[in-house]
A and B are shown apart, each in its own frame.
Chain A
Amino acid sequence: MDNRLILHIRDLNKKYDKFALKDINIELPTGSIMGFIGPNGAGKSTTIKSILNIIPFDSGRILINGMDNIKDEIKTKQIIGYVGEQLNLYNEVSAYKIYKFVKKYYPEWDDSFFHQLVNKFGLDLNKRIKELSKGTGVKFALSLALSHHPELLVLDEPTSGLDPVVRNEVLDILLGIVNTEGCSVFFSSHITEDIVKVADYVTYINDGTILLSDSKKNILENYKSLEFADDIPESVKRHLKFYRNNTAIINNLDELLACCSKEFNGSKVVSRAAALDDILLFLIEEDAAHAELNS
């Protein structure tokens, strides 16, 4: 891992009638994997499509390995491997014809690596895209995305809709390749299990706003899940931003203890690293509380 940024999003803004991306800032160091978490409709796909310049954005700048993704569109795309949420491939056309078409656009295309991946994934290139299952389609898209040895892999919910067996298989193979190839990954998913497995960094997004972006290590160190043996005392609840049943999520244990350590007396509490899902809920609640306060 070095200090250079493979992906640098600065003040990205994009407005729709009922939704807007607001000042998105993301920094992904070269050689790292970033998980991009958010509920459906949070702006994950819009951000990713902006990175690929599939959709135009209103303002801001996106740099891929220091190159502007609009001014140097072709060059930046040649070092990106992309797998979208939907395949959006020509359904009536065989995988072979699509591979033949795509390879012409990448000077670094490695045919032998492509065929290695095809064999590893057990793909039949003579099949038409519509004849491939969802899982096989994702494997084919991954083979296309990896065969030019991309420096940055951008994956938009690639495992959504896959059964757990195929999901794990895809993730394991992907992780193996990423380790061997040393490429950076920007990976959106609402399946946080996948993110926990592979990510070095985690960025949370909700309603078009980045809620938190930090290393997974820091996030898991800072956010704790407090599990009370009995109900959470009312006096403690007043200091909590998010709790559910007898579990509370906190982002600063020392601060909480400083303000209500006495209330903990007598309560059996176990503290452990919070789940990424619960942290997302905590951040959404916190953001809503801020918004309410400001209004």
Chain B
Amino acid sequence: MLNLIVKDLVFNARQVLIGLLMSMFGFLTILDGPKYAAIGLFMVPALLFSQIVGKSCYMEDKDNAFKFLKSLPISKNNVVISKYVECIITLVCSYVFMYLVNLALTSLGLSKYVFNFNLVAYMASVLLLYFSVYLWIFFKYNFASAQHSTFFILMGSVAFYKIQDYLKITSIKIPGFFTGINTSYTLFAVALAAFIVLIKLSINAFLAKE
């Protein structure tokens, strides 16, 4: 398993570096205080995911390298699970790093950003769902189809905000629904369950892939 994760990082070293640099733009949102917190919490892991996991999927799909992996004495389950583990690593590292950067900036008086763990749980849930659906589409179909899913996620997000706006205009309140502790963590539990189910589905898809 570790070999497979290291393989994705080593084979993809340049893209990993570019991803890290790109994610710096996401860190800039910390300087703007809580206003763009949700965007920062979404953008940093999403950029890293796209550069690290997404690019490794691209390479494997473009060169049919999954056939090469299947010919080696590697557990096929591990080939799939390693990609999902990379998602978790990307997510955890992004948030830990953001937290540390924020802590350092706060101690220097440069940040007014308060790390809201409910919001972190909420954004992590959304990303976890997105990553796992992306990988399932990749294993079931191909990289191009998985990339198209990005478009639907974006459209879905826009639609979601528009609906929220509409609900506010008509004074229908859903107090604390998206930031309440129980709701955030329940959503996280649901995302985690979906993540596990999608790992299983991805394994089945990979086993059948020709």
Contacts and interface: CB of A to CB of B under 8 A. Distances in A.
B36 to A, nearest CB: 35
A92 B61 CA distance: 13
B101 interface: no
Interface of A, secondary structure class, is loop
A105 B210 contact: no
Contacts of A91: 59, 62-63
| Interface SS majority for chain B | helix
A101 B3 contact: yes
B11 interface: yes
Given A101-B3, A101-B7, A52 B62 contact: no
Nearest to B58: A92
B71 interface: yes
A71 interface: no
Interface string B23-38: 0000000000000000
B21 interface: no
Contacts of A93: 11, 59
Contacts of A49: 210
Contacts of A52: 70-71
A78 B75 CA distance: 12
A88 B3 CA distance: 19
B59 A105 contact: no
A197 interface: no
Query: Chain B interface: which size bin?
Result: 20 to 34
Contacts of A86: 64, 67
A106 B3 CA distance: 13
Interface in B44-70: 59-60, 62-65, 67-68, 70
Interface residues of A, number: 29
Contacts of B62: 91
Contacts of A233: none
A56 B207 contact: yes
A152 B10 CA distance: 30
Contact of B73 (A87, A88, A101, A105): A105
B64 A88 contact: yes
A102 B7 CA distance: 10
A74 B11 CA distance: 23
A90 B10 contact: no
Given A55-B210, A101-B7, A104-B3, A89 B59 contact: no
B8 to A, nearest CB: 10
A97 B71 contact: no
Contacts of A87: 68
A83 B207 CA distance: 20
Contacts of B64: 86, 88
Contacts of A100: 10
B72 A88 contact: no
B174 interface: no
Contacts of A54: 67, 70-71, 210
Given A55-B210, A90-B11, A105-B3, A77 B63 contact: no
B74 interface: yes
B108 interface: no
A183 B59 CA distance: 33
Nearest to B209: A55
Contacts of B67: 54, 84, 86, 88
A56 B10 contact: no
A74 B74 CA distance: 6
A295 B74 CA distance: 46
B208 interface: yes
Contact of A92 (B10, B59, B72): B59
Nearest to A102: B72
Contacts of B10: 97, 100-101
A74 B73 contact: yes
Interface in B8-22: 10-11
Given A77-B73, A88-B67, A106-B73, 14 more contacts: A54-B71, A56-B207, A73-B73, A73-B75, A75-B73, A77-B71, A77-B72, A84-B67, A86-B64, A88-B63, A91-B62, A93-B59, A101-B11, A102-B72
28 contacts: A49-B210, A52-B70, A52-B71, A53-B70, A54-B67, A54-B210, A56-B207, A56-B208, A73-B73, A74-B73, A74-B74, A74-B75, A75-B73, A84-B68, A87-B68, A88-B64, A88-B68, A89-B68, A90-B60, A90-B63, A90-B65, A90-B68, A91-B59, A91-B63, A93-B11, A97-B10, A101-B3, A101-B11
Interface of A: 49, 52-56, 73-75, 77-78, 82, 84, 86-93, 97, 100-102, 104-106, 129
> Which 5 A-B pairs have CB atoms at the shortest separation, nearest pair first?
A77-B73, A88-B68, A54-B70, A88-B67, A74-B73
